[in-house]
Structure 1
Amino acid sequence: MKTMNQERTKSEELATIKEDLSGAKKYIDDLTNFLPVSFLVVNPLHIILEANPFFVNISGYEEMDVVGFDIEEFFLEKKELKLFKKKILSGRSDKNEIELTFTKKNGEQFPAFVSAFVRKDKKGKVFGYFLTITDITDSKKFNERIEEIVSQKTKELESKNREIAESRLALMNILEETDEAWKNAEEEKEKTISIIANFTDGLLVFDKNDCLNMGNPKAEKFLRTNINNLIGTHLKDLNGSSLVKSIVEVLLKNEAFKKDKKSVAKVKAAHREEVKTGDGQTLEVSAVPIIAGKTSIGTLVSLHDITREKMIEAMKSEFVSIAAHQLRTPLSGIKWTLKMLIDGDLGKISKDQKEILEKTYVSNERMISLVNDLLNVTRIEEGRYIHKPEMVNILDIVEPLVESYKAEAERKGIKLNLETTKKRNLNVAADIEKITLVAQNLLENALKYTPKGGKITFFVKHKVKANKIEVSVKDSGVGVPKDQQARLFTKFFRAANVMRMETEGSGLGLFICKNIIESHGGEIWFDSEENKGSTFYFTLPIVTEKEFEEFKKKL
């Protein structure tokens, strides 16, 4: 039993040592990356293990050019260096210094001030050292100039004591200026650290293995937990407050945390998602991969407080809702009055009067449609856009819809086709009215922006591996300018080329479509090239009866 306890104690000590080494390595990594000094990490065999960016900058070598080589490879004075290496390993002094000549990658040489800071274990045994290399070319020239001046003044000592005193005074002034410059540099460094520490957004940095590497005080405040207790923890294992768990759930679904780090490197934009705290606060959680070359080496997570923005948005939505409701009643009254006038229910009207009334009726219908869109947007933002799901075959929605638009397509001189999968049993859990609205919106947009002689194809495909239905509408229309594509699913946005063609439109259709599809557990996206056409896609999961019942419970 005693032996087992001893082994357990040793095991715990080893684990503690491992954690200490891990923390020390992270500290050294951060220090070497940001320290404005040429810096090497060397093992007891004098083999270079790491080189910081500043060394790469002054030497011309890349880090992998020097890693694995003896430090002797880069200095001219081999004999002096051998003695210096022995002195380092003797461990008699923690800091050893020497002046040597360093050879750069291009063959150029410069005088260098070399300092070795010995690394020892608890028993005092040397297990390596840090080597700093400082280019003292300017310092040498300066010293040689000073020596020249001193030599000259020494020869004239008897007759020019005053001049020597003045030279000394000038030298002191130079030293004071140097000291002042150093103090200013330190102040700038402290200022930078202070800015990061007081950054208004919370920042979390994860390494390439998705383990938490660091976090700033603002992140600690948001999460209501001690960040230091979470350093080194894998994303999946992070715990603490309920907010931490909510953020972890969001990040696990994020593209930046994919297992395949090469595919993560293709993620260009930060993925954003909102998370509510228990005290009414709302945080926008965004994550973006940190890319080196073509591979992700980590992930930066930002926690941005958008509570105030959400309050303003809610106030705006409330105003829009009130205004829309106030408009809806009189517009409905106008609609039926115009309808009665057009139908002659209120008396006979002339042909010209009927034409004017019909144009007014169409304009009134557009206003009613806009009001309805505004009310739908408000319901979406307030979480009141209710869905009534049913088990439905997607083809029962798509086929009659496409058929109903063939006459209009023919009238405009556009070829409209429907291509469907051979499999007919494609049941999805869907609110028929709203999914029809999505398909109708995409088809109407294609008809609206495809010129005469163009072609529109409506596809329904079965994605077997994903067990999803993919619906797409491909057109040969005007397309979307590349610099405006990122905003296409936002509220009130209409592409510039479309606005030149047609001034009417609310810019709300695709925003509503996106909400409908995502609330059904699907995805919506598009491919487009200006003046060549667009393809809009959306997916819906295929469901069984059991899955359908579970889906209804989530709504």
Structure 2
Amino acid sequence: MKIVLLILSIVLTLACFLLYRKLSQAKLQCAKIKRESEDRVKQTHQELEGERSEQRLLLDAIGDAFLIVNGSLRVKLNNSRAQQLSRYDSLIDRTLQEIFMSEKLSATVAKQIAKNEPSQKRIIISSGAHGIGATSTEGDTAWILQVTPLPNHKEDPLYCLILRDITAEYRADQVRTDFVANASHELRTPLAIINGYLENLIDDDVVESPDMARRFLTTMRKHGDRLSRLVDDMLVVSRLESGEAASINPDPFDLAECVSDVVERLDHLIQNQGAQIITKLPKDPLIVTADKFYYTQVLFNLVENALKQNPGNNITVTVTAERIGSDRFKLAVCDDGIGIPSAHLPFIFKRFYRVDKHHTQSDIKGTGLGLSIVKRAIEAHGGTIEATSKPGLQTCFIIQSPIDSSQVSPEVKPEI
């Protein structure tokens, strides 16, 4: 009996040992499977993260704003450009109205989505009517909106939106349109006057009255000269804005010679108006390397503008020049005339802009391009110009520019 019990004890011990061994092996196998599963999950997660990173890089490489929205116009995905157009850190689950604060944009997107087909539309958004852009911009903005329904999302439709900023092109078109309209008007006015006097000379036998004929011809000549100068000024503006500004011919010259030439050319107008020109120049010659033709044009336009805006006021025009540091100089033209109202100051460098828009036919003003030429010529030399005015006290145009303009890369900005 004892032997039987001993044998049973040995069998049970052996069975327990074998069971323990199998359990240990199973535990090790489970641990191995767990590790392999975790490694596969980790690898899959890394692959997904890699795909997401690649997707993000691809989306961010798109220069236009890219968004995926649902039927409620809530954003589900966006790129960095779309982020830049908003003030929010995250756009996910926000509505387009909330992000861009533009009812017109949201309404346009809703209409395009309702068509449920790929579409493209240009929209113009008025200044102040939206919050598109990280910084506020003045004037209208223009955008191309592309809406494309995504396939395989019938239960919860998703749409791809691409918003392209074409404001620069839109404003350039507006500038060209305005330029043509203004130029046509400016050319038509003197032509109409000349044609009117010609009709009087031919039809009314004015030729028989020498005094009357001379007066007519004198007026026609004034308007003919204005036409000629207008065309010349338009060509100068065209050259400065078409890229030919980079072909300015900088040579060393004494700025005092430039000032002297301008005063001499305007001497007749100065004497007729009883005006006074005061020059404040350095004792030593201020030699600058620039295009003397353009700087003479700049000074001529500024001084002539001061004189023509103040006829009969016996004004004093002061021309000041000084060196700033070792590589720049400042040139200022100031007068004590009627001045420029503050509301007009931001616009005086625009083409054909006039502070006083009401003048008679006999009151021959400038071409409306003088200050525009001044600004673009200075920018072509790598300089800047600003205008300040206290009406009735002092109006100043202050130029700062490199002494050696041959070392700068000029960039004339298009008018907007």
TM-score, length basis structure 2: 0.50
Identity of counterpart residues, as a percentage? 24
Structure 1 pair 449–309 and aligned structure 2 pair: CA distance change class (3 A):
same
User: Do residues 441 (structure 1) and 323 (structure 2) align?
Assistant: no
Structure 1 distance, partners of 2:379, 2:279, is 24
Higher relative contact order (Cα pairs below 8 Å, separated by 6+ residues): 2
**Following TM superposition, by how much is the alpha carbon of 1:505 offset from its aligned partner in structure 2, in angstroms?**
3.6
CA 1:310–1:359 in 2, change beyond 3 Å: closer, same or farther?
Answer: same
Tell me how far apart the structure 1 counterparts of residues 336 and 184 of structure 2 sit (CA, whole Å).
38
How many angstroms does 1:317 deviate by? Answer: 8.5
Q: Is the 1:202–1:216 Cα contact (8 Å) retained in structure 2? A: no
Say if 1:398 and 1:436, in contact at 8 Å, map to a contact too: yes
Gap change, CA 1:420 and 1:309, over 3 Å in 2:
same
For residue 410 of structure 1, what is the aligned residue in structure 2?
A: 271
Q: Distance in 2 between matches of 1:320 and 1:508?
A: 14
User: How far apart in 1 are the matches of 2:238 and 2:410?
Assistant: 24
Code of the residue aligned with 1:457 in structure 2: it is: T
Residue identity in the other structure for 2:273? K
1:361 paired with 2:243, answer no
From 292, 298, 312, give the equivalent of 2:173: 312
Structure 1 residue 494 displacement after superposition: 1.3
Q: Aligned match of 2:251 in 372, 390, 396?
A: 390
* Match of residue 149 from structure 2: none
Aligned to 1:203: 85
Q: Where do 1:344-383 residues align within 5 Å?
A: 350-383=210-243
Give runs of aligned pairs for residues 96-135 of structure 1, distance below 5 A: none
Offset at 1:474? 0.9
Separation of aligned partners in 1, 2:137 and 2:283: 36
Within 5 Å, which residues of 2 pair with 1:240-279? none
Return the letter of the residue paired with 1:361: R
The alpha-carbon distance between structure 1 residues 507 and 271, as it changes in their structure 2 partners (threshold 3 A), is farther
Cα separation, 2, equivalents of 1:201 and 1:310: 24
Q: Is the 8 A contact 2:354 2:368 kept in 1?
A: yes
2:346 to 486, 490, 501: 486
Give how far 1:351 is off: 3.4
Q: In the alignment, residue 300 of structure 2 is paired with which amino acid?
A: Q
* Equivalent position of 1:453 in the other structure: 314
**Aligned residue pair count:** 257
The answer (yes or no) to whether the contact 1:320–1:378 under 8 Å persists in 2 is no
Shift of 1:480: 1.2
Residues 384 and 455 of structure 1: CA distance in aligned 2, closer, same or farther (over 3 Å): same
Q: What amino acid is aligned across from residue 444 of structure 1 in structure 2?
A: E
How far off is 1:215 after superposition?
8.7
Determine helix, strand or coil for the equivalent of 1:482: coil
Structure 2 CA distance for partners of 1:356 and 1:470, relative to 1, 3 Å: same
The one-letter code sitting in structure 2 at the alignment partner of 1:357 is: L
Do 2:345 and 2:387's aligned partners in 1 also have CA atoms closer than 8 Å?
no
Gap change, CA 1:381 and 1:554, over 3 Å in 2: closer
Q: Distance in 1 between matches of 2:318 and 2:379?
A: 23
Q: Is the 8 A contact 1:429 1:551 kept in 2?
A: no
2:281 aligns with: 420
Instruction: Tell me which amino acid in the other structure corresponds to 2:85.
Output: L
- CA gap 1:315/1:554 in 2 versus in 1, 3 angstroms: closer
Task: Compute the RMSD of aligned alpha carbons.
Answer: 4.6
2:323 paired with 1:462: yes
Q: Cα–Cα, structure 1 residues 491 and 214, in superposed 2: closer, same or farther, change >3 Å? A: farther
* Unmatched runs of 5 consecutive residues or more in structure 1: 1-189, 206-212, 218-268, 273-280, 282-302, 342-346
SS in 1 for 2:346: helix
CA spacing shift, 1:216–1:387, aligned 2, 3 Å:
farther
Provide the rounded CA distance (Å) in 2 between the counterparts of 1:321 and 1:490.
11
Does 1:475 find its partner at 2:335?
yes
Specify whether residues 382 and 421 from structure 1 end up closer, same or farther in structure 2 by C-alpha distance, changes over 3 A only.
same
One-letter amino acid of the structure 2 residue matched with residue 358 of structure 1: T
Q: How far apart, in 2, do the equivalents of 1:458 and 1:435 lie? A: 13
Structure 2 vs 1, CA of residues 553 and 541 (structure 1 numbering), >3 Å: closer, same or farther? closer
Read off the aligned partner of 2:227 and give its amino acid letter.
Answer: M
Aligned partners of 1:321 and 1:374 also within 8 Å: no
Aligned match for 2:291, one of 431, 437, 442: 431
Distance 2:302 2:365 in 1: 16
| Secondary structure of the corresponding residue to residue 483 of structure 1 | coil
Partner residue, 1:527: 388
Output the amino acid matched with 2:377. I
1:399 counterpart residue number:
260
How far residue 520 of structure 1 moved from its aligned partner, in angstroms, is 0.3
Cα deviation, residue 436, structure 1: 0.7
The 1:376/1:270 distance shift into structure 2, 3 A limit, reads farther
Q: Is the 8 A contact 2:237 2:376 kept in 1?
A: no
| Partner Cα distance (1:318, 1:484) in 2 | 19
Mark the CA change 1:192 to 1:422 in structure 2 (over 3 Å): closer, same or farther: farther
Q: What is the rounded CA distance, in whole Å, between the counterparts of 2:369 and 2:73 in structure 1?
A: 46
One-letter amino acid of the counterpart of residue 385, structure 2: I
Instruction: Encode CA deviations 1:99-144: one digit per residue, 9 max, x unaligned.
Output: xxxxxxxxxxxxxxxxxxxxxxxxxxxxxxxxxxxxxxxxxxxxxx
Question: Is residue 2:393 matched to residue 1:540?
Answer: no
- Measure the CA separation in 2 of the matches of 1:371 and 1:390: 27
Change over 3 Å in CA distance of 1:379–1:554 after alignment to 2: closer
Contact 1:428/1:540 (<8 A) preserved: no
- The residue aligned with 1:510 is 371
Give the aligned partner of residue 53 of structure 2: none
Q: Could you tell me how far apart the structure 2 residues matched to 1:408 and 1:201 are?
A: 58
1:336-355 deviation digits (Å, cap 9, x = unpaired)? xx9xx9xxxxx999333222
Maintained 8 Å contact 1:391/1:428: yes
Task: Verify the 8 A CA contact 2:308 2:365 in the aligned structure 1.
Answer: no
